[in-house]
Structure 1
């Protein structure tokens, strides 16, 4: 019997890059149980997640396993549920070595997402500059 537990991708719904990424995930997901939810519409305390953290990073929550991932690791876990070629990258790169190398890049983008969103013509983030 297939597991019907949900997998949540929690993102900052006020961020242009985050919202555009969530739209891409919805269009390319291979698993109907993968749900994208803005952090302001999600019960963060239920999963022990600080709301301030949810404004700074994407969060991947797998209800079946109880695993919660942040930043680069969350992105790779999401990729495992997308169409190719992202799926194979997710399986190859969801590890601590990759996280250590790419989390600084993720952090840079997260810190600068308001200006990046504006430059890309996306809705500007409501986060302070």
Structure 2
């Protein structure tokens, strides 16, 4: 299992480091180091929404955005598993989707960010 992040974005890098300190049972790796096509990751979508890649019976399953974060958190200890479960289920998931979009749209304005963090959400 791997959570991929945009290493060109200071906010994303800081967020990935924070998640790494949570001792999740998943790898956290920069997008540019991954074989996105080989993992089944949509490269354009991955620039807008963090992807989480996990094996399933037929190969891999890729989740994006708040679902990716929820699935990654679900690999942690009991408290983090609960947080991940909440992100994946209503009513929290109903709020998590627009909250993630708001953060993604404004990540260039958040602490640790630079102009390189600005993304076009199309």
The TM tier, using the shorter chain, reads 0.7 to 0.9
Q: Which runs of 5+ in 1 are unaligned?
A: 1-6
Deviation at 1:52, TM superposition (A): 1.6
In the other structure, the counterpart of 1:126 is 116
CA distance in 2, matches of 1:107, 1:25: 19
Q: Which runs of 5+ in 2 are unaligned?
A: none
Equivalent position to 1:41, from 33, 46, 49: 33
Q: How does 1:84-99 map to 2 (within 5 A)?
A: 84-95=78-89, 98-99=92-93
Contact 1:16 1:125 in 2 (8 A): no
Equivalent position to 2:68, from 71, 74, 90: 74
- Pair 1:58-2:65 in alignment: no
1:29-81 C-alpha deviation (Å, 9 max, x unpaired) = 242xx111111111111123221211111111112452211111111111112
Deviation at 1:96, TM superposition (A): 6.3
Contact 1:113 1:125 in 2 (8 A): no
Compute the RMSD of aligned alpha carbons: 2.2
- Pair 1:106-2:96 in alignment: no
Q: 1:43 to 1:87 in 2, by over 3 A?
A: same
> Equivalent residue of 1:14, what SS?
coil
Deviation at 1:123, TM superposition (A): 4.4
- Pair 1:23-2:17 in alignment: yes
> Equivalent residue of 2:4, what SS?
strand
